[in-house]
Amino acid sequence: MDKDRLSRITTWMESHVAARRFAGCATLIRQGGSEVYYGHCGQRDLATGAPWQRDTVARIYSMTKPITSLALMMLVERGLFHLDAPVSEFIPGFADARCLVLDATDIGQTAPCAVPTLHQLLTHTSGLSYPFNPGVLGKAMAEQRLVFGPGKRLLAYQVDQVATLPLAFQPGVRWEYSAGIDVIGRVIEVVSGKSLEAFLVDEILGPLGMDETRFAVPEGARDRFAALYTPLAGDSFDLNGTGFGDDTLRLDDAPESSPFLTTQMHSGGGGLVGTIDDYMRFAEALRSGGAGLVSPSTLSFMMRNHLPGDIASMGPRSFAELPMDGMGFGIGGAVVLDPARARCPGSIGDFGWGGMASTFFWVDPVEDLSVVFFTQLSPSSSYPNRPQLKALVHGALI
């Protein structure tokens, strides 16, 4: 990679900080296992003036999903179940599944349907949804506070509550970004007999040395936990609500009072916090063939497109962390099928995902790259930082 061109990433990050789009941010790139770029700038906390540093702890939100998905595949490798198993085998509340009828206007307008499979949960084709998605089910989830954010609610309770609602559609017919991988986290607990965090620590986080990645901010890292900001006038997770406010960096979650300090929720879809180096260890495990956690064959299976076409072809109506045109979806992450249709430089087979606080990662099997970007701004749809970073990285390839 061209070092002078890589330096453009520093300039780009500095421009976002100077324009008050981000309070602070960092980018880490490895190629062939060797670090070729690291840079950071700005602040992790505007109130105290604390600088963003390499060991800053950040909320990774939906970048938790690939980790949880890998955990499930480790159990699949052990022959404990298969991906076409209905989720009701593990969570009985889903047994009498119903879905909304076409063009339903009320949560009571339902019909019987098939029980979603583990594979459909992993690939967002299950019929589950999120409270910030449009539609009848998203509204019902919001009214019942069926979010998997940090707090005192336990994963088992929250999943059972989700199971009482109908699905948004017949499993398998559409793609809709959802809490499916949170449900997968509960499946992991049921099968393993451990809490989701205990399983992740024993099987993935511990072996990879991701010692500061947990569902609650580790005690020794609290003085390095970043503040979360939003440019929205209202709720930073209300993607259908008010637009930008007067302050592009309005404080949304202060590090000294954040629920991530004491949360009891183990959200497999969006609950982890950690450092950029920790997450790079996970990305490198994907790039290098599994790092002994799973076989290279299983990893290759995960990073293939599991949809009949791209995401756009499945009629999505929901928010998504990455583009839908030219993008497929594997087990827990998106797969580039056609960079031209995705309108962003990249390689066919790029695998990655992002988080609601504008974090982002991808693994490029063609160029042998792992790239991780950290910042703390919600929602991630605020600015097009992800395609910009991909263009910068590919512009540095020689």
**pLDDT tens profile 372-388:** 999 999 999 999 999 99
pLDDT one-digit tens code per residue, 236-293:
887 766 688 899 999 999 999 999 999 999 999 999 999 999 999 999 999 999 999 9
Q: Do residues 261 and 305 both lie within one domain?
A: yes
Q: Do residues 282 and 388 both lie within one domain?
A: yes
Percent of the chain with pLDDT over 70: 99
Local confidence band at 42 (pLDDT 50, 70, 90 cut-offs): very high
Q: Do residues 321 and 248 both lie within one domain?
A: yes
pLDDT of residue 318: 76
* Residue 320: pLDDT over 90: no
Q: Do residues 136 and 220 both lie within one domain?
A: no
pLDDT of residue 316: 81
The stretch 34-46 carries a mean pLDDT of 98
pLDDT one-digit tens code per residue, 339-398:
999 999 999 999 999 999 999 999 999 999 999 999 999 999 999 999 999 999 999 999
Q: Do residues 59 and 85 both lie within one domain?
A: no
pLDDT of residue 153: 94
In a domain, residue 72? The reply is: no
Domain enclosing residue 16, as ranges: 3-64+195-201+211-395
pLDDT of residue 242: 66
The stretch 35-58 carries a mean pLDDT of 98
In a domain, residue 225? The reply is: yes
Percent of the chain with pLDDT over 90: 93
Q: What is the DSSP string of 176-243?
A: ---THHHHHHHHHHHHHSS-HHHHHIIIIIHHHT-TT-BSS--GGGGGGBPPEEE-BSS-TT-TTS--
Q: Do residues 95 and 139 both lie within one domain?
A: yes
Question: By C-alpha distance, which of 190, 143, 138 is closest to 167?
Answer: 138
Residues in a beta bridge with 291: 294
Predicted model pTM: 0.96
Largest CA distance in the chain: 60
pLDDT one-digit tens code per residue, 120-167:
999 999 999 999 998 999 999 999 999 999 999 999 999 999 999 999
Q: Do residues 319 and 235 both lie within one domain?
A: yes
pLDDT of residue 80: 97
CA-CA-CA-CA dihedral for 277, 283, 284, 285, to nearest 10: 120
pLDDT of residue 22: 98
Question: By C-alpha distance, which of 259, 284, 320 is closest to 125?
Answer: 320
Task: Work out the number of other CB atoms within 10 angstroms of the CB of residue 71.
Answer: 25
- Give the CA radius of gyration of the chain: 20
Looking at the structure of the chain, the number of domains it has is 2
- The domain boundary, picked from 160, 192, 224, lies at 192
pLDDT of residue 241: 65
Local confidence band at 319 (pLDDT 50, 70, 90 cut-offs): confident
pLDDT of residue 237: 82
List CB contacts of 199: < 8 A, sequence separation 6 or more: 71, 188, 189, 192
pLDDT of residue 235: 84
pLDDT of residue 152: 94
CA-CA-CA-CA dihedral for 55, 74, 191, 59, to nearest 10: 20
Q: Do residues 181 and 236 both lie within one domain?
A: no
CA-CA-CA-CA dihedral for 26, 29, 35, 38, to nearest 10: -20
